Structure 1
Amino acid sequence: MPAILHALSIAGSMTWEITWALILGFALSAVVQAVVRRSTVAGLLGDDRPRTLALASALGAASSSCSYAAVALARSLFRKGADFTAAMAFEIASTNLVVELGVILAVLMGWQFTAAEFIGGPVMIVVLAVLFRLFLRDKLLREAREQAERGLAGSMEGHAAMDMSVRREGSFARRLFSAEGHTATAHVFVMEWAAIIKDLVIGLLIAGAIAAWVPDSFWRAFFFDGHPLAEKLWGPLIGPLVALASFVCSIGNVPLAVVLWKGGISFGGVVAFIFADLLILPILNIYRKYYGARMALFLPATFYAAAVVAGYAVEFGFGALGLIPHRADAKIPMSGVSWDYTTWLNIVFLLLAAALVHRFLRTGGPAMLRMMGGTPHAGRRTPTTDDGTGHGPH
């Protein structure tokens, strides 16, 4: 029992440490999603030119950070006419280039990891595009499209089909600060939390258990700590495999990344681990349902290779510039609640979250939440944005 309580205490301390950062990240993401209409996205992603992939990455970064929702939305874009490579770039950016991930990394591990996220993510997308250009055959792509058109449901299909963006015309500020914009932001905010909460809780519990129960000597031996070259070469290779075995994706793998970093995995290994959130076993099974068995083998192979290359790129690039932080600077929170800046930030952002949840509850949110696990018709706009005046969307 003491060992379990110790693990739960660490998980609770981690939760308290990152609460404000999560709320900030999801609030910023909700603001963007409230004014970006999904109906225009697929038409912008019709090829795999560099400009299109850059646009796909930007749109993905403004989208859901839930890995399951990102996979479902990428399939939806592919069915609507988006190029497959562009859809995959969108999917990767949706989970690896989002603000909330960068904020959490900075809070727990240092700004260098946030910089590595936003540098390594585009590297991974470029490498993936090259691999697709070299090895993705037309026959395999046709098979994948035929399977995708069958519309087999996967996790978070309903969430991916919901477009909660504002219909009102006008400037960004006018749309955002309208009553409809307020409602749309609240709905996206709560939906995003609902989408990731299970993975986040599992990730925190796993990280707490590993931090409490696995001795540092095991990690030092496993990651070749003390052997500089072997450590740098091994980390990006093993990081994605640890992610695959952990069953944790999206934001939920950051607490475990802290534990691995403190345990001795290399800087590039941490980055490759984080970028492998789309390779966990449940998502590989979704790839099989969405695109067929052959594509379900092709995607993890190319995603793994791209994550490894991105890990090596930041490992040796940041190392050459002397930007790799000291492990001692990262922290596994264990102190619980105390009156410091974290507590004050948590109070402020919890009040913001409460206001958004209140708006969500007053404007038909619970009914939408029940639909989220279902399979609304692709492309359907869910009637979510009652503006609080009784008139609904404009």
Structure 2
Amino acid sequence: MNWLWHALAMAGTMGWKILWALILGFALSAIVQAVVRRDAVTGLLGDDSPRALAAATGLGMASSSCSYAAVALARTLFRKGASFTAAMAFEIASTNLVVELGILLALLMGWRFTLAEFVGGPIMILLLAVLFRIFLRRRLIEQAREQAEKGIAGSMEGHAAMDMAVTGPGSFWRRLTSARGFTAVSHIFVMEWAAIWRDIVAGLLITGALAAWVPATFWKEFFLTGHPVVSALWGPLVGPLVAIVSFVCSVGNVPLAAVLWNGGISFGGVVAFIFADLIILPILNIYRKYYGWKTAAFIFGAFYATMVAAGYLVELIFWALRLTPQDRSARIAEEQFAWDYTTWLNLGFLVLAALLAARFLTTGGRRMLAMMGGRPETAPHETHP
């Protein structure tokens, strides 16, 4: 059983390395969601103007990093009057331009990958807006809206329904430090974890298996590392395809991206791979439920094209600025436990997570989980974008 233990040990080591960053990221996301009410700016998203797309991007950056939640929230915005383009821009920003993703990229792969993500995200949104303006027909939008209004429940929709935002008079800090603010943060924090932990675990297990079982020679041959120019062209094309079949979510795909980078995928290929959490097979099925087959196929084609193009452009920009990373030693190696800064950070943030979890359980959290059957993604959705 050494083969199985080795894969599990690699997955566990990776999980321990990123634990504090995950807690920090979800805590920051919960704070923003608790004090900023998103439906207050829904009226800004009624068209595909630069102003609307900028508002959708900002709203997405302040929202959840879970791909499933992002898809459900985007549908809600669409139902409430947002343009389809703005809803999709929100979806991209809420999975690829958020704090926790940037932290994990910097922690595991280096700051250049974080910078690439925040450069590539706006590029992808801009390219998508252009494609939608040229190819998206009014009839298809009307069909998508008709399907969306049917209220078909999809994965993570109950998560999107939660409205714990604290509104009213007072400063940001006053609302945040109030009893209601603490409760709101705790509920959003725990429900974020309840929504995404399966994806994180799946991503870590897949990463552990690939790191332990797949020889480096396979990745080097698959990514054509012996031909630098061809490899740079090949990476963004196949990066999203690897993501599609790996089923990992926004945050969960970072460890796997580290494995692929060490294996020889191009820099642009990593960027395209990370973006592709929005076209994995379960998400494509949700698009079908939400908007119908034709719109789901259009979304897939447009997203794939813009992911590939964004990967190429990021590669080119970073090459021109001489910022392309050369070191292929992302943090995936198995290590022994040590009392280092990672351990102390993990212990400190685990205390924070415990406090938030305790607040959640003592303020109606048990009833919420019981009502949702322990699966927040299956609850009915009617209220909150």
TM-score by length of 2: 0.97
State the match for 1:374 in structure 2: 378
Q: CA deviation at 1:325?
A: 1.5
The residue type paired with residue 267 of structure 2 is F
Q: CA deviation at 1:226?
A: 2.6
Aligned pairs for 1:10-159 (under 5 A) are 10-159=10-159
SS, match of residue 82 in structure 1: coil
Aligned pairs for 1:228-377 (under 5 A) are 228-370=228-370, 371=372, 372-377=376-381
- % identical aligned pairs: 69
Asked if structure 2 preserves the Cα contact closer than 8 Å seen for 1:247 and 1:280, the reply is yes
Within 2, Cα distance between the matches of 1:131 and 1:18? Answer: 36
Asked if structure 1 preserves the Cα contact closer than 8 Å seen for 2:164 and 2:187, the reply is yes
State the superposition RMSD in angstroms.
Answer: 1.2
Cα deviation, 1:261-318, whole Å, max 9, x if unaligned, reads 0000001100100000010011101101100110011000000011111111111111
- Structure-2 change in CA distance of 1:25 and 1:224 (3 Å): same
Asked if structure 2 preserves the Cα contact closer than 8 Å seen for 1:48 and 1:83, the reply is yes
Cα deviation, 1:239-278, whole Å, max 9, x if unaligned, reads 0011011111211111110000000000110010000001
Within 2, Cα distance between the matches of 1:369 and 1:221? Answer: 47
State the match for 1:215 in structure 2: 215
Give 5+ residue unaligned stretches, structure 1: 382-394
Within 1, Cα distance between the matches of 2:66 and 2:259? Answer: 22
Q: CA deviation at 1:228?
A: 1.1
The residue type paired with residue 168 of structure 2 is R
Within 2, Cα distance between the matches of 1:330 and 1:255? Answer: 9
Q: Moved runs in structure 1, 4+ residues, more than 6 A?
A: none
Within 2, Cα distance between the matches of 1:373 and 1:297? Answer: 23
Within 2, Cα distance between the matches of 1:8 and 1:309? Answer: 35
Shifted more, 371-380 versus 132-141: the winner is: 371-380
State the match for 2:9 in structure 1: 9
Asked if structure 1 preserves the Cα contact closer than 8 Å seen for 2:235 and 2:265, the reply is yes
Q: CA deviation at 1:61?
A: 1.0
Q: CA deviation at 1:215?
A: 0.5
State the match for 2:199 in structure 1: 199
Give 5+ residue unaligned stretches, structure 2: none
State the match for 2:175 in structure 1: 175
State the match for 1:190 in structure 2: 190
The residue type paired with residue 140 of structure 1 is L
Cα deviation, 1:121-168, whole Å, max 9, x if unaligned, reads 010000000000000001111110111111111001111111111133
Q: CA deviation at 1:377?
A: 4.3
Q: CA deviation at 1:55?
A: 1.1
Within 1, Cα distance between the matches of 2:218 and 2:327? Answer: 17
Cα deviation, 1:3-33, whole Å, max 9, x if unaligned, reads 1000000000000000011111111111100
Within 2, Cα distance between the matches of 1:144 and 1:168? Answer: 35
SS, match of residue 242 in structure 1: helix
Within 1, Cα distance between the matches of 2:293 and 2:384? Answer: 28
TM-score by length of 1: 0.95
Asked if structure 2 preserves the Cα contact closer than 8 Å seen for 1:38 and 1:163, the reply is no
Q: CA deviation at 1:379?
A: 1.3
- Number of aligned residue pairs: give it: 381
The residue type paired with residue 76 of structure 1 is T
SS, match of residue 165 in structure 2: coil
The residue type paired with residue 126 of structure 1 is L
Q: CA deviation at 1:322?
A: 1.4
Q: CA deviation at 1:380?
A: 5.6
Within 1, Cα distance between the matches of 2:187 and 2:28? Answer: 13
Q: CA deviation at 1:92?
A: 0.8
Q: CA deviation at 1:328?
A: 3.4
Within 2, Cα distance between the matches of 1:239 and 1:96? Answer: 15
Asked if structure 2 preserves the Cα contact closer than 8 Å seen for 1:157 and 1:373, the reply is yes
Q: CA deviation at 1:331?
A: 1.8
